[in-house]
Amino acid sequence: MGIEQKAGDLGAVTIRLEQAVNWARTYAMWPMLFGLACCAIEMMAGQAAKYDMSRFGMELMRATPRQADLMIISGRVTRKMAPVLRLLYDQMPSPKWVLSMGDCASCGGIFNNYAIVQGIDEIMPVDVYVAGCPPRPEALVHGILTLHEKVRGENLKTWA
Amino acid sequence: MEMVQDMNNELGSPVSTLVERFGADVQEFRGQTTLVISPENIFDACQVLRDEFSYDFLEVETAVDYWPQQDPRFHVVYQLYSIEKHLRIGLRVPLSGHSPSLPTLEGLYANANWREREIWDMFGIRFEGHSDPRRILMPHDWQGHPLRKDYPLGYEEVQFSFNAEEIDRNKPYAEE
Amino acid sequence: MLDQSEVAFNELRHLVSERAIKGETMLLNMGPQHPSTHGVLRLLLEMDGEIVVNCFPDIGFLHTGIEKNMEAKTYEKAAVMTDRLDYLNNLGNNLVYCMAIEKLAELDVPPRAQAMRVILTELQRISSHLVWLGTHTLDLAAISVFWYTFRERELILDIFEMVSGQRMMTTYFRPGGLWRDVPVEFEEAVRQFIDIFPQRILEYEAMLSENPIFIERTRNIGILNSKDAVNWGVTGPMLRATGVPHDLRKIDPYMGYEQYEFVVPTHTDGDTYARYLVRMEEMRQSLRIVQQALEKLPYGPVRSNNRKFVPPPRSELSTSMEAVIHHFKLWTDGFDMPEGSVYVAAESPRGVLGVYLESDGSPKPYRVYWRTPSFDNLQVLPTLAKGHLVADLVALMGSTDFVLGDIDR
């Protein structure tokens, strides 16, 4: 406490544990490769050269849920696919976050019918919703930055 | 019979053959020819078209539901195409009843396999002799046939500000 | 609930061979979530070691019920859903739907709208082939091509955004023509693209066509002969790679394609490498069509004048009573279509895309059936995959170029 008052923010020399862990988590959050439909193409465009998501720590997309932190549900989730989605979510180890990309994943989108799950928050808890049909890569990046801010605000109580 | 001769000469002979042999009705609309054939004759008609007139490509196989009209309730629609002659011909088969059946075209056109599975899944029309009659698009334990007209769309009520809390209470949300 | 593996086995007991039931061959689930399945496709592979003896595709994980949903909306509102079918060919889907409505209602399309539709559809074809190339080579571990193709695709998406405001789901084609005219910068942007792109195709070919690893991984994989292809209903570049020159733009020209000079590339081998060559050449020919259409672009209105189907411009509403009546009818009820049914087909980057539209005189479509090319292209996959390794199966799936939105609708 005294050092911080006298010398200002020394960066990593004196830092709270929560801040350190959250910083590490945001800077290397690897999404799971889970593109379902049209939003997946915009997610791929977001990973590509023009709107590079590697700048924000999403260097790789891991295909296996066991090695991924973030699940970006991009695309419409049907009732046939919903159990598979839940299984994948359960297979991801904590800490894990879910970003619902696009209108179909957030609320069912334009498809209000028998086949589409009206929003994946019926199946799993969601951290950030990104609107758009499909959302521009910049919108997805904004969603990821919002998620980073949320992660930076996490504290010990939410981990345990 | 005049109608048959007036039509495009290239399509004339398959149409007249089918009319003679199977008693098909001819309909022409916007330049496209459709023949209405009864369910017993559909396999032979397609065989004649494939072998004698080289309509070797099954382009469309689907069904239309005319509920609440019960007789006929369904029409199964086919579009056959000839790759060499670049001609298309349409066939319709009227069917009635709650769970009607038709002979399968799998022996003639290999892609009828999945198309007939889709018709079974969506409409409930069985195909006799099909090698693999199971659902293709819906989950394997789904009840009902979605594209029938008496199957509801299944939509969820739209949330506006006046009914937002009410819908929120009834909607399942996952916590963990 | 049954365990997933038991469900799989019970469903397929009548399809798998004796060896699988005895336990000699292994049933492997290449599940809906897999990096190489290009969408949510589940493949059940019956494998003898590394060799695929049989494979059973399980589709329906993306079944959106678009056909039933379109029956509940008016024609103009349902056009919005058409973009989302084959989500790499948005304008192509719009085009076929509008062609079906125009044929059924006998609606005219002005020449400027036709030429603009051709330009945008061909640009969409190029962008779809670019995604195909990027993801196909990504699966074969030639990852750099992915970055380059998506860079080119951004140029095309910028053009779409300039024209309609949206990168992908534009719904720019409406019954009767286009939604509105293109801005002034359109021509310059397309010309820039035409100047840049040929050099880029040469770059891709320099990286891949003579590459011994690429040739090794794609030659003689999944050979399809033309008779089987026609019997299985295969269309598009898969059929053209077997030697059958079937392209609806040449055979049954629509939207003025007969004015433009282009070649339909074919190949005789029928394997993955042949499909790659056919699609690369198709990109060049599409660019040629865009160039010719841009030179010949006529002036004029971009939407039909038939006020029964096309809303009047807002300026007319203050002067003409009929305009107000038409506007009211179109915006509340939608336009009434004559009764009857038509089937219209066009050439999408994947093959023959057709719409069977049936109307009963009401403002909502009675039945819209989409004859999608990827449905049949995927159906032929089990016959092509027999006897190949799993890695070859991955290359084969990439070259089939199916899109799950197309298959499951």
The pLDDT, as a whole number, for residue C110 is 92
Residue of B nearest to C360 (CA): B66
pLDDT band at C8 (very low <50, low <70, confident <90, very high): low
Is residue B4 over pLDDT 60? no
- What are chain A's partners, defined as 3 or more CB pairs within 8 angstroms? B, C
Q: If you average pLDDT over residues B150-176, what whole number do you get?
A: 79
pLDDT band at C139 (very low <50, low <70, confident <90, very high): confident
Q: If you average pLDDT over residues C29-44, what whole number do you get?
A: 79
Q: If you average pLDDT over residues C116-126, what whole number do you get?
A: 93
Q: If you average pLDDT over residues B43-68, what whole number do you get?
A: 87
Higher per-residue confidence, B17 vs C243: C243
The pLDDT, as a whole number, for residue C343 is 92
| C34-43, C54-63, C208-217: least confident range | C34-43
Is residue B169 over pLDDT 80? no
In chain C, the percentage of residues whose pLDDT exceeds 90 is 34
User: What are the backbone angles phi and psi of residue B147, rounded to the nearest 5°?
Assistant: -85, 5
Number of Cα atoms under 13 Å in the Cβ half of residue C129: 25
What is the CATH number assigned to the segment(s) A32-149? Answer: 3.40.50.12280
pLDDT digits (tens, 9 = 90+) for C375-389: 999 989 888 888 888
The pLDDT, as a whole number, for residue C201 is 92
Which stretch of DSSP H or E encloses residue C386?
A: none
pLDDT digits (tens, 9 = 90+) for B69-122: 777 888 899 999 988 888 888 889 988 877 788 888 888 888 888 899 999 888
Q: Could you tell me the pTM of the whole model?
A: 0.91
Peptide bond into A135 cis (omega under 30): no
The pLDDT, as a whole number, for residue C13 is 66
CA distance C25 to C146: 36
The pLDDT, as a whole number, for residue A20 is 81
Contact at CB, C167 and A75, closer than 8 angstroms: no
Is residue B7 over pLDDT 50? no
Contact at CB, A112 and B139, closer than 8 angstroms: no
Residue of A nearest to B138 (CA): A80
Peptide bond into C311 cis (omega under 30): no
- Beta-bridge partners for B80: B58, B89
The pLDDT, as a whole number, for residue B5 is 37
Higher per-residue confidence, C12 vs A47: A47
Give the DSSP per-residue string, A131-142.
-SSSPPHHHHHH
Would the CA dihedral through B132, B133, B135, B141 be positive or negative? negative
Is residue C5 over pLDDT 60? no
Interface predicted TM-score (ipTM) = 0.87
Fold for C75-106+109-303+338-408, please state it. Cytochrome-c3 Hydrogenase; chain B (1.10.645)
The pLDDT, as a whole number, for residue B2 is 36
How many other C-beta atoms are found inside a 10 Å radius of the C-beta of residue C322?
10
Q: If you average pLDDT over residues C119-129, what whole number do you get?
A: 93
Residue of A nearest to C1 (CA): A83
Q: If you average pLDDT over residues B150-159, what whole number do you get?
A: 82
CB-based contact A67:C114 (threshold 8 Å)? no
Contact at CB, B156 and A108, closer than 8 angstroms: yes
pLDDT band at C1 (very low <50, low <70, confident <90, very high): very low
Q: Return residue ranges of chain C for CATH 1.10.645.10.
A: 75-106+109-303+338-408
Which chain A residues are closer than 8 Å to B175 by Cβ? Answer: 125
Residues of chain A short of pLDDT 70, as ranges, are 1-13, 158-160
Number of Cα atoms under 13 Å in the Cβ half of residue B119: 28
How close is the nearest chain A Cα to the Cα of B139, in Å? Answer: 5
CATH architecture of the region B2-170: 2-Layer Sandwich (3.30)
For chain C positions 45-64, those within 8 Å of chain A (CB to CB) are 60-64
The pLDDT, as a whole number, for residue B9 is 53
How close is the nearest chain A Cα to the Cα of B88, in Å? Answer: 33
Residues 6+ apart with CB under 8 A from C24: C48
